[in-house]
Homo-oligomer: A and B are copies of this chain.
């Protein structure tokens, strides 16, 4: 990977990078298409990063289909698929981690305390290896892209980051590899996450009530779906994740919930 990357740099070519855990959906594809338009060389990584999963999470059953993904990326004109082995990435008594203080313990960090440390560590490694000029991330993982941008700025890593909008199914459900876990009833119930976000947007635009009041109405709506259990609802500052009392400036509304056994997240900026 590094040899290909260095060769491209010497030829003065720009490298765009899309890091993924594979099982590609239209959200990933939107990132890849943008990367393809804007850069000479497009690198996509597929690596199900073990250290960003908590002990009891779905690492082992995380969906994988490298053949299908590889074919998809070929049709999109991707130059390099980088899919390293787990043992190669964390070899020889691996001990180092990269962590962004504070930001990683909020929102998803409350129930996934080691998650963002695992994400920033693997992204630091991938950036060292791929050495891209620009990296594309999805806004569906809003907290993740904020934390990665902070890490890149703090560590002076020479890469630009562009975050692209969440891609949704026709009924509003945010695209996610984990949607493949849902059965028919769960799939239907899962749309309540986006409906709750749209409710928040509507209430905020009408200036109806405080953030607490909006969260309450979102909870009421979500509780109508018996298959859905809320992990958190947050209305907060999109850079610091501090909870907001009122909605005056651009504000993040973020949800995490279990739909059956599947944990899904979604968010909008209002």
A residues in contact (CB < 8 Å) with B: 2, 10, 92, 94-103, 120-121, 124-125, 128-129, 131, 150-151, 153-158
Q: Is the CB of B98 within 8 A of A102?
A: no
Q: Is the CB of B158 within 8 A of A2?
A: yes
Q: Is the CB of B92 within 8 A of A96?
A: no
Closest residue of chain B to A98, judged by CB? B98
Q: Is the CB of A151 within 8 A of B96?
A: yes
Bound CA–CA A154/B88 (angstroms): 10
Q: With a CB–CB cut-off of 8 A, which chain B residues contact A150?
A: 95-96
Bound CA–CA A122/B255 (angstroms): 36
Q: Report the minimum CB–CB distance from A179 to chain B (whole Å).
A: 32
Which of A10, A95, A157 has the most B CB atoms < 10 Å from its CB? Answer: A95
Q: With a CB–CB cut-off of 8 A, which chain B residues contact A153?
A: 92
Q: Report the minimum CB–CB distance from A10 to chain B (whole Å).
A: 8
Bound CA–CA A150/B90 (angstroms): 12
Closest residue of chain B to A2, judged by CB? B158
Bound CA–CA A2/B156 (angstroms): 10
Bound CA–CA A37/B102 (angstroms): 45
Q: With a CB–CB cut-off of 8 A, which chain B residues contact A151?
A: 96
Would you mind naming 14 contact pairs between A and B with Cβ atoms under 8 Å apart?
A: A95-B100, A95-B102, A95-B150, A96-B100, A96-B120, A96-B151, A96-B154, A97-B98, A98-B98, A124-B155, A125-B154, A128-B155, A129-B156, A131-B158
